[in-house]
Structure formats: structure tokens, C-alpha cells
Amino acid sequence: MDVGKRTGLLLCLLAVSLPAGGVGCGSTSRAGGAESSAEAERSEEDEQQKSEAAETARNRELLSQIEAKKREEDAELNAHKTEAAAQAKARKREKKAAAEAKKKEQEAKAKVKKQEEAARAEAKRKQEASQGANTGKRKPAQRRRETSSPISIKQ
């Protein structure tokens, strides 16, 4: 039962109990009896007012306890919601960091691969250049021997 329903219930009980206290016993119509009857009635009314005041105080205290419990439950619910939101945010942050790390790793691998390919291409270029230079540096006599036939005719 929520606080609004409980408050309404308490107010209804209070409203029902107030008129019931006004109903009392009557007394005889004698003059001496009328004075003591009036005094008894005042005493009864005072007692009724005191009991109503005590009941009202109890009802207020009960209502305060109910409202305090409701506030505590609401605060606990909000704390749980806040904690769940923080955990979700942390998971999202971790996932993003993992994706970023993976991306950086892939970029690093691609860079290394590119550097290796560039080094291989440079080595190949140097090798081709050195082979071309070696062929170009031979003496003309050696070139003639390589280009002429193995049988040579002397004149």
C-alpha cells in the first residue's frame, strides 16, 4: 500500500472516531444531578479530547515513519539505478578502450609490414644496382671474350 492510500485510511479512521466520542450517557433532570452531570460530561469531553490528541499524535508518528520508510526505499532505488548506470558506462568505456587498442595494434602491424616491404624493395633495388654496376665495370677484353665464340680464329 503506498503512502497516499495509508494517509487516506488514517484520515478516514480519524474522521470516524471523532463523532463517536460525542455520544455519551444522559443524566436525570435534577438540579444537583445536572451540575454533577455537566461536570462529568466536561470531564468525559476532556478525556475524549486527550485520547483523540494521543491518537492523532500516534497517527502522525505512524505517518512520519511510513513517509521516512518510503523516502529510504526511494533513495535505495535511486542508488541502485545510479550504480547500474555507472557500471554500464564503465563497460562501455572498457569496450571502447579495447577497440581502440585493437585498432592501434592493427595500425602498428600494418606499419611494420609496410616498413618490411620498403626494406625488401630497397634491398632488391640495391642488389639490382650492384649487379648492373658489376657488369658495367668489366674490362673490354673480358667483354669480348664473353661475346665471342669459344673457337677463335687467328690470322
**Number of Cα atoms under 13 Å in the Cβ half of residue 9:** 9
What SS3 state is found at 134? Answer: helix
- Plot region of 140 (φ>0 → left; ψ -120 to 50 → alpha; else → beta): alpha
Transcribe 34-79 into DSSP letters: HHHHHHHHHHHHHHHHHHHHHHHHHHHHHHHHHHHHHHHHHHHHHH
Decide: 65 and 78 in contact? Cβ < 8 Å. no
Query: pLDDT by residue (tens digit) across 48-104?
Result: 999 999 999 999 999 999 999 999 999 999 999 999 999 999 999 999 999 999 999
In the structure, what pLDDT confidence band is assigned to residue 18 with cuts at 50, 70 and 90?
low
124-141: average pLDDT: 75
Q: How far apart are CA 13 and CA 17, in angstroms?
A: 6
Please give the residue that has the higher pLDDT: either 145 or 92.
Answer: 92
Higher pLDDT, 148 or 41: 41
- Residues 6 or more apart whose CB falls under 8 angstroms from that of 59 comprise 10, 13, 14
Contact 50, 1 (CB under 8 A): no
> 3-class DSSP state for residue 139?
coil
Say how many residues make up the chain.
Answer: 155
Cβ contacts of residue 108 below 8 Å, gap of 6+?
none
Enumerate residues 6+ apart whose C-beta is below 8 A from 10: 59, 62, 63
| Domain boundaries along the sequence of the chain | 3-13+35-133
